[in-house]
Amino acid sequence: MFSVLAVLCSGILALEPANHAVSRDYAITCCSATSRDEIIGLQGALLRYQSILRTGGWPEVPAGEPLGLGSIDPRVRIVRQRLVRTGELPHSAVIARSPEMFDGQVVLGVRRFQERHGLSVTGVLDSKTAEAMSVPVEERIRQLRANLWRLRWVPAENHGRLVRVNVPAYEVTLYEHGEVVARMRAVVGRVDRPTPVLFSEINILEVNPSWWVPPRIARERILPNAARDPDWLRQRGYELRDGGTPVDPGKVDWSQVEEKGRLPYTIRQRPGSGNAMGRVKFIFPNDRMIYLHDTPARGVFERLRRDLSHGCVRVQRPVVLARFLLQHKEEENAEAVLAAIRGEGFRATRRIELPAPVTIQIVYLTAWVDERGVLQFRTDVYGKD
């Protein structure tokens, strides 16, 4: 196995720019310290896609009206050819009795393609699906190379618990000894407030957190609303403070504050069901003030594109994540914490230290091979590829 890894790592080293010298020994160390399955799976995908390029690539799927089950259209013949090239359909699909018929087999192939690319899995050839099918093989090869490069710097964590956030996938995955135990959707930072790549250890849960609003958010989001209606703050549980002294929003000259474009107060949002942090924060040391947290805005997880935050990561299933992190804590105490996160227990703010820190990786992977061996692609939301 080690010799195979060494060969793969030397192949990845060849992708390195000439002006970025790294010793061969260090390159092998980096690669062997990363998940074997991830490295080998993605390198295998690169070889397959290079083979597709050598044998002519795949056809571009023309734009047009959406096609679904029962549709008859010349584009269906092209869709069949396209899906055969990357394995969503068997080779026999191109010699079907009615190749221009969008039959059940094509529906299944389109669904597989949509799942692979993080699209809405409808089985309908809509504009986004046709656009993704038409991305040239050369671009997919560049994407695979970019992500092999990124994997070199991801530390291994195959012998314990791991929380991994993949930003372009808008997803949090929980691993136990290298096996996936849970997966949940996530909301990540906007393009102008990106969630950074970082590696740390979750060591604290803050249950029923208050939220001290960062100055930039206060200026951009809070100030305009407060200037229109000072009662807006009270209705949403915000408190103004001048140092440690509470300030009555009704006595503030908001026109002058808005004119200056700067809020001369700190703002705290009290704990509760409407708090922007939700019922729990997951805290880990980092110099970017990034953390994971719950959210009262549950509807955002139904969106396909979820780069909506100011940099921190909102998690869809905070109770599942908390249970995963607390599994070595005394059962009675752990259940009390989980009940509070569900809104059924204590209401005071409480910081819970984990019995043992749990590794967290925030990564930026737009291509990877999942635990089923399926190659996945995602949109390069921050333009990093």
Query: Which of 9, 117, 312, 328 is labelled catalytic?
Result: 312
* Distance in Å from the first CA to the final CA of the chain: 30
Please say if 312 is a catalytic residue.
yes
Query: Which of 117, 293, 310, 328 is labelled catalytic?
Result: 293
**Three-state DSSP string of the chain:** CHHHHHHHHHHHHCCCCCCCCCCHHHHHHHHHCCCHHHHHHHHHHHHHHHHHHHCCCCCCCCCCCCECCCCECHHHHHHHHHHHHCCCCCHHHHHCCCCCECCHHHHHHHHHHHHHCCCCCCCCECHHHHHHHCCCHHHHHHHHHHHHHHHCCCCCCCCCEEEEEECCCCEEEEEECCEEEEEEEEEEECCCCCCCCEEEEEEEEEECCCEECCHHHHHHHHHHHHHHCCHHHHHCCEEEEECCEEECHHHCCHHHHHHHCCCCCEEEECCCCCCCCCCEEEECCCCCCCCEECCCCHHHHHCCCCEEECCCEEECCHHHHHHHHCCCCCHHHHHHHHHHHCCCCCCCCEEEEEEEEEEEEEECCCEEECCCCCEEECCCCCCCC
Please say if 31 is a catalytic residue.
no
Catalytic residue ranges: 293, 312
